[in-house]
Amino acid sequence: MKHFDDQDPIELLRALWSRVEPPTPDEVATDDRHQAALEWLDSALDASAQEPGNAAQKLDPSTTATIAWVRSAWSQAQVPAMPSPPVARVPRFVLVHRHLAAAAAALLIAGLAFTLAPLPSPKADPTLIAQAPESPTALVPIPASIPARIVPAGLELTSGPVRLTLLAQLTPTTKTQD
Amino acid sequence: MPQPYSPSPPLWRRLALAIESGDADALGEWYQLEWPAVFRLCLGLLADHAKAEDAAQDAMLRISDKIASWDPVRPYAAWRTTVVLNLCRDVLRRQSTRRDKETAAAGQFQLTRLPDLAIEAERAEVRDAIQGVLGSLSDREREAFVLRDLEALPTEEVARAMGIHAATVRTLLTLARRRLRGLLAPHLPGVEVDGGAA
């Protein structure tokens, strides 16, 4: 018994096609043998197109039973417990945008901190902040000239409560500022 | 012809869009739908239960990562099968040395008795048998057989997934069927064996 399922269906069709004798033009419409062969080939090709794969290939019962058993065993194979899907998977483009947003936020915060750092906070300790004089009269007037007098140790310059004594040996050419 | 589980294309499109936008519920729904199919595909392609489980987990992650690249014009099942097939090929390639030993061992696989699929207690034997039977095929024969006869993908899609010509798929399929028939037919009830075994 010949098993056609052992042959490549394309090869089978090719072999059958080669056996079809080309009809002469006047035989095309009348030759039943060629017409039947062409119809058979057309139907075989149609079946092949409709039923994907090798529908033109007829399987013998033992092959059919074999495939059926494997298919049944395979479909009944115990499927292990489903793994839990990854939680909160975030698409890549969202991740990229998130990173960009985080970087921009960090930059903004750093900029703000840098800008605002020298400014005193309203809640800051007032004793740590330089205070402006309460009134312009509180300013110490700067004398137009610093009084100086010659003392035994040298020259003494006076500016308010501050006295500066220059301990140098004075010569007669030393000038004092009036 | 078996009809593999195949939800309607709009469902896949909806799930793909939702997963892409980070919808955790959609991801969970997709996992429930896909896990059994992806595991069975890995089991068929790897012929090993433990490896199939690991590969299926990797495949689920890979598919969910790549789902944005799925072109809805192409059937979802075919696209998913291609992704899983490539992953399983990577697994086999990484374990090539081990695989060679296993293939050699699998070539010696002999069935003394076909376990009854209807008996719950024989589940473990069925699992061993399916591993042994599929493991007796070469990698390419197994790919063709699993995708065409078990997954019921069209031959053209199988060829596209495997990256070979459709005629080659048919040849591989014929070889695989012949080998399996030789292995199983003597044990199948009501099947006459007429020397067609490989």
pLDDT tens profile B115-152: 777 777 777 888 888 888 898 899 999 999 999 999 88
- Scanning A51-127, the segments in alpha helix (DSSP H) are 61-75, 92-116
Which among A9, A63, A73 has CB closest to B130? A73
CB spacing of B43 vs A60 below 8 angstroms? no
From CA A79, how far away is CA B102, in angstroms rounded? 23
Q: How far is B129 from chain A (nearest CA, A)?
A: 9
**What is the C-alpha separation between A36 and B11, in angstroms, rounded?**
45
Residue type, B89: R
Min Cα distance B28 → chain A (Å) is 6
> Could you tell me if A68 and B177 are in contact, meaning their C-beta atoms sit under 8 angstroms apart?
no
Out of A69, A85, A90, closest to residue B188 by CB: A69
Residue B25: how many CB atoms within 10 A of its CB?
10
B55: three-class secondary structure by DSSP? helix
Q: What is the ipTM of this complex?
A: 0.79
Which residues of chain A make contact with B153, given a CB cutoff of 8 A?
Answer: 52
Q: Are B143 and B85 in contact (CB under 8 A)?
A: yes
Residue B52's pLDDT band (cuts 50, 70, 90): very high
Average per-residue pLDDT for chain B: 82
Nearest to B24 among A51, A59, A88 (CB): A88
Q: What is the mean pLDDT of residues B76-92?
A: 91
Mean pLDDT confidence for B36-40: 91
**pLDDT level of residue A104 (50, 70, 90 thresholds):** confident
CA-nearest residue to A58 within chain B is B174
Highest mean pLDDT: which of A79-83, A115-119, A124-128, B141-145? Answer: B141-145
- Number of CB atoms found within 10 A of residue B61's CB: 15
Over residues B178-186, mean pLDDT: 87
Q: How far apart are CA B181 and CA B198, in angstroms?
A: 8
pTM for this predicted structure = 0.56
Q: B154 CA to chain A: closest CA distance, Å?
A: 4
The minimum CA-CA distance between A48 and chain B, rounded to whole Å, is 10
d(CA A10, CA A16): 10
B178, B184, B194: residue with CB nearest A1: B194
